[in-house]
Amino acid sequence: MNLPASPSSPRLFIGLMSGTSLDGVDAVMVTQQADQVAQQGQYFVPYPATLKQALLDLHTPAQDELHQAAVISNQLADLYAQAVHGLLAESSLAPNAVTAIGCHGQTIRHCPELAAGQAYTLQLGNHARLAELTGITVVGDFRSRDIAAGGQGAPLVPAFHQAVFAATDRHRVIINIGGIANLSDLPVNGNVTGFDSGPGNLLMDAWTLTHTGQPYDASGAWAVRGEVNQALLQSLLADPYFAQPIPKSTGRDLFNQAWLERHLQTHADTPQNVARTLLELTAVTIANALQQYCHGAQEVYVCGGGAHNLALIDRLQTLCGLPIQRTDALGVGVDWVEAVAFAWLAQRCIDRLPGNLPAVTGAAGPRVLGAIYPA
């Protein structure tokens, strides 16, 4: 495949990310010039409670789900457009100043483990409608091409982490703790690897909402007052996913409230002790993954919503034996890394450059990711 070089003049891209945590839409304005990426602005639109619940419901097969998915895709496009217009207003920019929007969409199914020819991933979001509402070219559906090439379709951010965060003299690891936690191993020499370690915030957040009415446990203050239920923890850690070799990726299809409830049937405890045990599960599985697959790591940086959970980061730092810094120190704030990554992936698609790392996803080779919806 003959691929054009990335243009040298600076261009503006918008990245949109709505992740497994289902909290809302992160929007960023990014200047890209060759391999240089600079965040210029950000905007956030929260999900209405009704939309969040509808998305959660779609994770379980139900009657008339195709109609519901189509309607919700339109609603998501409207929210994405709201985020874009808010970002443009705050940046004092017109739509024609932006080369393209990279829109991840909202994942409701991720099944790369199915037999060859049956694997798929599904992210909702009507990209044609988003292009119509914003007047900006939209790039979406980033994961499907990697799966078509035999890959997991995820995680995709390690390629961005390599381009923006890798150092020539320091072995770095980037830990993204969203709803699901994933690691990018960036050695000075050798292949970059990346994979999902398991649950990040999603089980902790769901448990906290059920038992406190709060959407998340701020700084881990509620969980840290509980005690780890070792029997429950070992039961959770026995799930085959944690022993599965890389490449691997996961999501709510596996780690969800029903998964937790099955373990609680034989290992019930107080809500606060369960919260503490879920925090420990996230910390232990990340630390185990780092020790198994990231040999020789010298620096560890964290991003995603979990970076704000001080109890989690403190526990993770103890287990890893390395100081953990925030990606702010590398130029991208912890809350915006994934949105910036999809602005970068949009640029790769527009320029017909590969956006995946086969060593990460298991794809047959480098592929241009995304489908383009012209303005």
* Amino acid letter, 236: L
- pLDDT tens-digit series, residues 248-282: 999 999 999 999 999 999 999 999 999 999 999 99
Q: Is pLDDT of 144 > 90?
A: yes
What are residue 33's DSSP bridge partners? 36
Judge if 161 and 138 occupy the same domain. no
In three state form, how does the secondary structure of the chain look? Answer: CCCCCCCCCCEEEEEEECCCCCCEEEEEEEEEECCEEEEEEEEEEECCHHHHHHHHHHCCCCCCHHHHHHHHHHHHHHHHHHHHHHHHHHHCCCHHHEEEEEECCEEEEEECCCCCCCCEEEEECCHHHHHHHHCCCEEECCCHHHHHCCCCCCCCHHHHHHHHHCCCCCCEEEEEECCEEEEEEECCCCCCEEEEEEECCHHHHHHHHHHHCCCCCHHHCCHHHCCCCHHHHHHHHCCHHHHCCCCCCCCCCCCCHHHHHHHHCCCCCCHHHHHHHHHHHHHHHHHHHHHHHCCCCCEEEEECHHHHCHHHHHHHHHHHCCCEEEHHHHCCCCCCHHHHHHHHHHHHHHCCCCCCCHHHHCCCCCCCCCEEECC
Contact 279, 315 (CB under 8 A): yes
Judge if 26 and 148 occupy the same domain. yes
Judge if 95 and 15 occupy the same domain. yes
What are residue 45's DSSP bridge partners? 25
- Mean pLDDT, the chain, whole residue set: 95
Q: Is pLDDT of 292 > 80?
A: yes
Judge if 126 and 202 occupy the same domain. no
Q: What is the pLDDT of residue 70?
A: 96
- pLDDT tens-digit series, residues 303-354: 999 999 999 999 999 999 999 999 999 999 999 999 999 999 999 999 999 9
**366 domain-assigned:** yes
Range of the domain at 296: 157-330
What are residue 72's DSSP bridge partners? none
Q: What is the pLDDT of residue 106?
A: 96
Residue 31 structure tokens: 């200047």
Judge if 126 and 209 occupy the same domain. no
Overall number of domains in the chain: 2
**4 domain-assigned:** no
What are residue 325's DSSP bridge partners? 301
Judge if 108 and 171 occupy the same domain. no
Q: What is the pLDDT of residue 63?
A: 86
Contact 339, 15 (CB under 8 A): yes
**2 domain-assigned:** no
* Amino acid letter, 29: M
Q: Which residues contact 225 (CB under 8 A, 6 or more apart)?
A: 272, 276
Judge if 107 and 240 occupy the same domain. no
**1 domain-assigned:** no
Comparison of pLDDT for 113 and 364, the residue scoring more:
364
Residue 124 structure tokens: 């909702």
Judge if 142 and 70 occupy the same domain. yes
Judge if 279 and 345 occupy the same domain. no
Judge if 60 and 161 occupy the same domain. no
**6 domain-assigned:** no
Judge if 150 and 196 occupy the same domain. no
**Average pLDDT value for residue range 170-186:** 97
**3 domain-assigned:** no
In this prediction the pTM is 0.93
CB atoms within 10 A of CB 290: 22
**5 domain-assigned:** no
- pLDDT tens-digit series, residues 6-62: 556 899 999 999 988 889 999 999 999 877 899 999 999 999 999 999 999 998 888
Judge if 204 and 69 occupy the same domain. no
**Average pLDDT value for residue range 293-302:** 97
**141 domain-assigned:** yes
- pLDDT tens-digit series, residues 64-111: 899 999 999 999 999 999 999 999 999 999 999 999 999 999 999 999
Cβ-based burial of 256 (10 A; exposed 0-12, middle 13-18, buried ≥19): middle
Residue 113 structure tokens: 């483990």
Can you give the CATH number for the domain in which 205 is found? 3.30.420.40
- pLDDT tens-digit series, residues 149-161: 999 999 999 999 9
